[in-house]
Amino acid sequence: MGTMYVWVRAALRGFWAARRAALRTDSGMSTVEYALGTLTAAGLAAVFYKVVTGGSVSGALESLVTKALDAPF
């Protein structure tokens, strides 16, 4: 094995060791992040529900389904 091979192998070993060490320091989302994510998802779901059940959107969806069912083949 040449000296270049040994040098590259050592450099790559150090690179991957640093990556593994960096991954071990962050154990994932904390409780606060989970809570904020859950609250955000619930808020977006509530807004989406209000939009979909609103009169204009509900009427448009009903019209779309009616046209699809009454389409000639």
**pLDDT value of residue 29:** 63
What type of residue sits at position 2?
G
Bigger pLDDT: 72 or 13?
A: 13
Nearest to 52 by CA among 61, 41, 40, 64: 61
**pLDDT value of residue 1:** 56
Interior/surface letters 46-66, b for 16+ CB within 10 angstroms, e for the rest: eeeeeeeeeeeeeeeeeeeee
**pLDDT value of residue 51:** 81
**pLDDT value of residue 26:** 58
Q: What is the pLDDT of residues 6-58, one digit of tens each?
A: 888 888 888 888 888 777 765 666 788 888 999 999 999 999 888 878 777 77
